[in-house]
């Protein structure tokens, strides 16, 4: 593993040629007290990329944005989903700068043309009832055009715009947008952030098919509550609330 460290704007930047997981690398820096400000770690090749739960993130080497951002953003532990919403909105803003309108598929995927272009994994360090620091992991399909068949519906920026993108430039841009967005929303109430987030939700207000542990049903995504639970109004006007992995959006 090799690394290069430099500075740009308010970010410390660490570039890794290869690593198992940028989130894991970032967590090690925090554990060793080697970071005390917003730090960006990105890599050209990640061989054990992490997703939510037991999911993994596949990426060809030298093709995509694979990074983690360490932030010291103190919030109440029960408001952990606030940071997830802010990060999702920041990625939407980055892609809009590239001329792409996207939606957020609850809880942590970014969709374009009904296909997945980016995923988010946030790991928090909690002390008492406060989150003291967070590692924001992001994988974004940039220049990759061929994907394994087992991946359900990936898409990349290159496939959409028919252009090649510079990883070093784009990762610094998206990281700066993330830092700026966190600063912008720090003082805003949780309910205000939810309003921004809900408007960007994939399939929001559209009749959709879902599946939980008991049954398949149709309904409408109505909102997300302060615990990050997805609120669905089903075809019988019953309001349902789901935590992560408790419900699947089928179509």
- What's the mean pLDDT when you consider all of the chain? 89
Whether 6 shows a pLDDT value over 90: the answer reads no
Q: What pLDDT, on the 0 to 100 scale, is given for residue 11? A: 67
- As given in the structure block, the two tokens for residue 218 are 């149709």
Whether 116 shows a pLDDT value over 90: the answer reads yes
Q: What pLDDT band is residue 251 in, cutting at 50, 70 and 90? A: confident
Tell me what the mean pLDDT of segment 57-62 comes to: 78
Tell me what the mean pLDDT of segment 108-137 comes to: 94
Write out the H or E segment, with its range, that includes residue 89.
helix 80-97
Tell me what the mean pLDDT of segment 212-238 comes to: 94
pLDDT digits (tens, 9 = 90+) for 29-45: 999 999 877 899 999 99
Residue 225, classed as helix, strand or coil, is: coil
pLDDT digits (tens, 9 = 90+) for 195-209: 999 989 999 999 999
Residues 6 or more apart in contact with residue 241 via CB below 8 angstroms:
225, 229, 230, 231, 232
Which domains are assigned to the chain? 3-199 (3.30.930.10), 208-249 (2.30.30.100)
Residues 6 or more apart in contact with residue 160 via CB below 8 angstroms:
100, 112, 113, 117
Whether 82 shows a pLDDT value over 50: the answer reads yes
Q: Which of 125, 132, 148 is nearest to 57 (CA)?
A: 148
**Strands (E) located in 25-140:** 39-43, 65-71, 75-76, 103-105, 109-112, 115-127, 130-140
Task: Report the share of the chain in percent with pLDDT over 90.
Answer: 72
Look at the pTM and tell me if it is higher than 0.75: yes
Tell me what the mean pLDDT of segment 74-83 comes to: 89
Q: What pLDDT, on the 0 to 100 scale, is given for residue 46? A: 86
pLDDT digits (tens, 9 = 90+) for 138-189: 999 999 999 988 887 999 999 999 999 999 999 999 999 999 999 998 888 8
Residues 184, 43, 137, CA angle at the centre, nearest 5°? 40
Task: Report the share of the chain in percent with pLDDT over 70.
Answer: 91
Whether 8 shows a pLDDT value over 50: the answer reads no
Indicate the range of 26-30, 62-66, 78-82, 133-137 predicted with least confidence: 78-82
Report the alpha-carbon distance of residue 161 to residue 246 in Å, rounded: 35
Report the alpha-carbon distance of residue 244 to residue 230 in Å, rounded: 8
């Amino acid at each position: 593993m090799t690394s290069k460290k430099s500075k740009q704007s308010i970010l410390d930047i660490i570039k890794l040629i290869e690593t198992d997981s940028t989130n894991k690398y970032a967590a090690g820096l925090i554990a060793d007290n080697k970071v005390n400000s917003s730090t960006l770690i990105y890599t050209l090749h990640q061989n054990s990329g992490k997703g939510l739960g037991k999911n993994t993130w596949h990426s060809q080497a030298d093709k995509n944005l694979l990074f983690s951002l360490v932030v010291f953003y103190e919030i109440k532990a029960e408001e952990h989903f606030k940071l997830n919403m802010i990060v999702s909105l920041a990625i939407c803003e980055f892609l809009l700068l590239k001329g792409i309108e996207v939606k957020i598929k609850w809880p942590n995927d970014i969709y374009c043309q009904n296909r997945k272009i980016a995923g988010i994994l946030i790991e928090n360090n909690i002390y008492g009832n406060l989150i003291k620091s967070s590692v924001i992991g992001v994988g974004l399909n940039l220049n990759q055009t061929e994907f394994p068949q087992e991946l359900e519906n990936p898409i990349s920026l290159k496939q959409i715009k028919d252009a090649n993108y510079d990883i070093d430039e784009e990762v610094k841009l998206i990281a700066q947008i993330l830092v700026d967005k966190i600063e912008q929303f720090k003082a805003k109430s949780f309910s205000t952030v939810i309003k921004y987030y809900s408007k960007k939700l994939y399939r929001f207000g559209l009749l959709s098919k879902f599946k939980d542990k008991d049954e398949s049903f149709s309904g409408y995504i109505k909102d997300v509550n302060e615990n990050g639970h997805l609120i669905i109004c089903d075809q019988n006007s019953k309001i349902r609330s789901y935590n992560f992995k408790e419900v699947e959006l089928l179509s």
